[in-house]
Amino acid sequence: MLVAVVVPAAGHAAPTPQLTTTPQVTTPGATTPSATPLTAPVASPHATPVVGTTPDSSTTPGEDRLFQAETAKEVLVRFKPGTSTTTRLSLIEQAGGTLDQMLSLDDTAVVDMRGSLSDALHWFALQSQIEWAEPNAMVQSAATLNYSQGDPFFTKQWALDNYGNDGRVFDADIDALASWYATKGDGATVGVVDTGVDASHPDLAGQLASAGVNFMPDGHATVADGSGHGTHVTGIIAALENDIGIVGAAPTSKVEPLRALDDTGAGTSATIASAFAYAGKQGLRIVNASLGASAPSKAVLDSIAAYPNTLYVVAAGNAGVNIDNGGGTNYPCAYDLPNILCVGASDDHDQPAAFSNRGTTSVDLSAPGVGIISTAPGNAYRYESGTSMATPFVSAVAAQIARLNPGWTAAQIRMQLIQTVDQPASLRGVSFTGGRVNAARAVGLFAGPDGQKPATVTGAVGTAGVGSATLIWQPAASIDLAVYSVESLKGSSWTVESIVETGTTVTMTGLTPGVPVSYRVRGIDRSGEEGDPSATVTIVPTAAGGEGSKTTADPKTTATTAKTATKAAAKGAGTATGEPAGTTSSTAVLSSVKRTRSKGKVRAVSFKLSAAGQVTVTAVPQSKRSAAQSVITKTFTLAAGTRAVKFGSGTPALRLKKGIWKITLATKSSKVALKVAIR
């Protein structure tokens, strides 16, 4: 039976088309359709439910899953432009199918097949009027582990601004607060292709650009979210700054909810392609797609390629594999298009999330995606982890860029995101950039210790062992040192031999006795900036029972001159008094470091000092406003007990201008850093 071709307008009933006869092109032996004009009832865009194979019960959390919809016998067919309605219907009937619906993607139909799916695909492939045909495969959201949280606070949102509390690594965040000095989104709209949204959530009230569009064939009149996935993603982007719950990364932006996944988090190529195409036609500049499938879809590919001025920010997937070599490939992440940005997940230690897919050609960058708190249906909040959570952070930053640069193309926004990442050593090799999104840099603000690389490593000495070499050096002065890179000389070039995350010593084993080896060490900070290398240290490993030898280009620095090296390091850090760090009591340990407030504003940093000694305080501007003031370093001699450094008048004090600052407090034996917003 022939069914009228229907192109539903978004959110409205489609008119019944008038079908007339046109010249037909048929295959040999095919039945020629009747020349009589045809009419038929208008097909509902939600008439046929999507049916997929049941997920295997052994599927583990964190896997992206695609289920071929063989039991549904649904095929996506892309007709060549200009193919008439009658010809399309004729071809569908000859293939043994009936039209279910036309998609927002031009010239593309969902066809219900009565016979073999593989036979139908083969037949469609032979027709000159067909661009392509493929199964209407299922797509899964890219979330993984989740657990409830009933007491949410902004301080739990480590991804926006990580102060290093609760065992986290300082500054392993997107520097959202600093970026807000430029824009908080200010009305930019992000299309969220997901499970819908709880529009009644108080943290999302007024944050939706419209009532949204439902592309799922389930008959729902709204985009109500029965899963919670879409609501969680939406909150990460645009939750209100309203003194309740959480705040989104771009809290004055808007979200256009496009429901293309059902209440189980599953959709099809048809629903995703429809939502993508709709977003492009509406002129949305940013689309968030926290979803993925393990097989490609021409419908989805075409729906992205057709709208080059829309940036589609997509999830890398949660299989925990390298997808460059085809293993566990995730789509649309794997499509090579200039308006796709693929996002992997990092944790609060700036380590790649164990579940996150990676790949130096497939994945573009990382964003926080572990233990992310956001909105949940029913006026609730919950933590979730996954590349689904990482993706909306990047979409929010993309919206900020788009708002500040209305004339930029999707490719320009994508390049800005790529070129402004933080590059901690821990994320090297997991994506194209080897970095994590940084909102403040992306919007053109000074966002941290850029241009302040670690001081040169001094005091490097080596000791030979049996087939081994041990290297020891003095700490490099740096406001946010991340790791040390130990390099070895191989031929005429230096290569990284080891990354040392804690301590200032490393032992290399498996060396050939009697063969000299040369090493040098450099510090790398959390922004990926590298200090100059130490002097070269050459070590000759010994054989069993033999004696080793060592040489170093820095013979003055020995155990007896360690204090001098420490003093030089302190000078490199900018200690105001010039006093050697060795004069500080080794028992002066910092603890209970916290911001102290008055009338809702941070006025000082308080701390406990276990013994009398010197405390060096360094203030580094982290925002455009505070960058008008230079880095400030002062050293105070303080008595033991609870002490405070004020940010205005008083003693001791740093006179700091308004803005975001990174405050580092250091004694000889301890160092603590935190971010402070002075308003």
Structure tokens that stand for 175 in this block: 């520097």
CA distance 70 to 307: 30
CA distance 355 to 501: 22
Is residue 388 flagged as an active site residue?
yes
For residue 211, give the amino acid letter: A
CA distance 554 to 537: 8
For residue 582, give the amino acid letter: G
Q: Are 477 and 570 in contact (CB under 8 A)?
A: yes
Q: Are 198 and 229 in contact (CB under 8 A)?
A: no
CA distance 478 to 392: 32
Residue 610 C-alpha from the chain's centroid = 40
CA distance 369 to 316: 11
Q: 46, 201, 229, 232: which one is catalytic?
A: 229
Helix axis angle, 298-305 relative to 269-281, nearest 10°? Answer: 10
Closest-CA residue to 593 (of 659, 646, 658, 642): 642
Is residue 44 flagged as an active site residue?
no
Strand 517-525, strand 537-540: pairing: antiparallel
Is residue 549 flagged as an active site residue?
no
CA distance 365 to 386: 14
Q: 161, 171, 173, 194: which one is catalytic?
A: 194
178: left (phi over 0), alpha (psi -120 to 50) or beta: alpha
CA distance 238 to 290: 15
Q: Compute how many other C-beta atoms are within 10 angstroms of the C-beta atom of residue 404.
A: 16
- The count of C-alpha atoms lying within 13 angstroms of the C-alpha of 407, restricted to the half-sphere facing its C-beta, is 0
Q: Are 394 and 312 in contact (CB under 8 A)?
A: no
Q: Compute how many other C-beta atoms are within 10 angstroms of the C-beta atom of residue 367.
A: 33
Which residues of 178-275 form beta strands (DSSP E)? 189-194, 213-214, 254-259, 266-268
CA distance 495 to 518: 11
DSSP 455: P
Q: 141, 227, 290, 388: which one is catalytic?
A: 388
CA distance 373 to 375: 7
Structure tokens that stand for 71 in this block: 């039991």
Q: Are 519 and 462 in contact (CB under 8 A)?
A: yes
Which residues are tagged catalytic? 194, 229, 388
